[in-house]
Chains A and B, each alone.
Chain A
């Protein structure tokens, strides 16, 4: 029997599904357009923007790579790997101290670390520029490594500390009975037990560092050491008329993190949820 209610329900469901699918198209089409434009010719770009490429010019990717995108990618990988490792290691080390070791003024220390969560990087920008100029670190790898690490410690410590607090105290007691030092207990017992949150923080830090623009632009745009976000804007201004190459560069910049997201989706979602939901 078809009632008015059930007709409405089916109509409602259909409407919702149509809306969700339309939204998915709005999300995906610009990305697809970016990929397609990366294999078109410049003349095609200025023709019908919805047309498929006539010939798939994969050589645009090689051109982009040779015009600097390859170097930017390597720089991004280097900065991302080192600063992520440094951040996660220093944060886990601090989180262990905050949760499982007796420390003088531990509450003050805790507040000092976590209060860093509240501070916008923009506010520290100008003094940092002077400081790094004085240290001779302007336009170097070290500027980005130091800044990314310092500014990501509060959030990363916050996540790892929350996780460590939930580990039972018996774990440490067992290690202590064994005569294992705190440092040994950290490396061999606690750190392996924190694997899920470590993976989450690694992914979140990769996402941050790979895409960071403010520090990268201010501290490295003058030299030839540049990460992808800054490098792409350079590619745009230097070879501005060769747009397909710019699109190819954009795809090269975006692809690694999208792949990482799908590969580590489970950890990614948990890390994000922990980050804001705690």
Chain B
């Protein structure tokens, strides 16, 4: 109490005697506002912005998805579930879902399992300086925007000036050189590869932080018992960061279904819609083809997928009894 008092005394040089206290309002308002309605002033700005610009559009989107709708002329016709029916028969919609799934699967391999293994390798280094340096170096691409990273890899893959084909030639395996983003079967994987380069350091950093929280006594005891590094990783590190891994997996998959930026910058969904993902197909359907009802149906699909994943994530954190 005395400590808190002196801290307060230092922080509040002038005691505000004349300022009304919001938590115990003066007698005049006291009875009327027994539940503290006036205190809503604290959360009103946040709630107001969220209601107007996050929740309202979300609900509106459901309404739009049952319309045939020209955003420029304003003409709207009710078409019921037709947009959804069209969506389920649209091969490009399914192509997009498959591409999002590739995104999710490959990201789990590199940004969850790969990053965890990498974090364990880094934390196993004896020099603290190297540990810090490597963590920071691997993180740098994550500080670079996906737009810059996307443009950079667009050039790296470029057949005339890019370093990827040049490196393959230099390594004597020139038969693998190709127009990575210009072909239907490689475009989406070129984009996904860029995204791994951009994002693995972020995940590695998070896993490194989680690993640091494991008491070192556990490893020391295991080392004294003659347990090798592989078994230490599988028997101590892995179980103790399992929750972190599950969480990362859900965040990664959820992110994979929201991909937009890098696809837009690198291929725009092409060639021939082969690298389309849900986000870019929504954009193209609505903003390019002026089919906003259909685009809203795609938005609903993204909503259902990401919300399910978020609920799963919430369930995980609840299970961990984390305060919410």
Q: Residues of A with Cβ closer than 8 Å to B?
A: 12, 16-17, 19-20, 23-24, 26-31, 33-34, 37, 45-46, 48-50, 90-91, 93-94, 96-98, 101-104, 109, 112-114, 116-131, 146-147, 149-151, 153-154, 157, 162, 165, 168, 170-171, 173-176, 178-185, 188-189, 192, 207, 210-211, 213-214, 217-218, 228-230, 232-233, 236, 243, 246-247, 250, 253-254, 257-258, 260-262, 265, 269, 272-273, 276-278
Contacts and interface: CB of A to CB of B under 8 A. Distances in A.
A189 B8 contact: yes
22 contacts: A31-B141, A33-B156, A34-B152, A109-B47, A113-B46, A118-B314, A119-B303, A120-B306, A122-B282, A122-B299, A125-B299, A126-B286, A131-B56, A146-B53, A153-B46, A153-B50, A174-B4, A175-B8, A178-B16, A246-B151, A247-B155, A254-B145
- Lowest 4 CB-CB distances: which A-B pairs, in order? A97-B42, A211-B145, A118-B310, A127-B57
B113 to A, nearest CB: 15
- Determine which residue in B16, B244, B283, B286 has the highest number of CB atoms from chain A within 10 A of its CB, and name it: B16
A53 B17 CA distance: 69
B205 interface: yes
Nearest to B139: A261
Contacts of B137: 24, 27-28
B148 interface: yes
A273 to B, nearest CB: 4
Nearest to B170: A50
Interface string B284-304: 001100001001100110110
Interface size class of B (residues with CB under 8 A): 35 or more
A43 B50 CA distance: 51
B12 A180 contact: yes
Contact of B299 (A94, A101, A104, A123): A123
A28 B47 contact: no
A153 B138 CA distance: 29
Contact of A104 (B35, B139, B140, B247): B35
Contacts of B190: none
B251 A276 contact: yes
B1 to A, nearest CB: 6
B205 A262 contact: no
Given A27-B140, A277-B206, A103 B11 contact: no
B138 A213 contact: no
A213 B295 contact: no
Contact of B163 (A49, A130, A214, A260): A49
A146 B206 CA distance: 30
B166 to A, nearest CB: 5
Grouping DSSP codes into helix (H, G, I), strand (E, B) and loop, the B interface class, with mixed when no group exceeds half, is helix
B209 A261 contact: no
Contacts of A94: 42-43, 45-47
B197 A27 contact: yes
B22 A49 contact: no
A184 B16 contact: yes
A243 B151 CA distance: 11
B284 to A, nearest CB: 13
A120 to B, nearest CB: 5
A101 B134 contact: no
Nearest to B24: A176
Interface stretch (B58-66, B81-89, B174-182, B231-239): B58-66
Nearest to B203: A276
A262 B306 contact: no
A278 to B, nearest CB: 6
A257 B49 CA distance: 27
Contacts of B161: 45-46, 49, 243
A73 B55 CA distance: 31
Contacts of B58: 119, 123-124, 127
A94 B314 CA distance: 22
A208 to B, nearest CB: 10
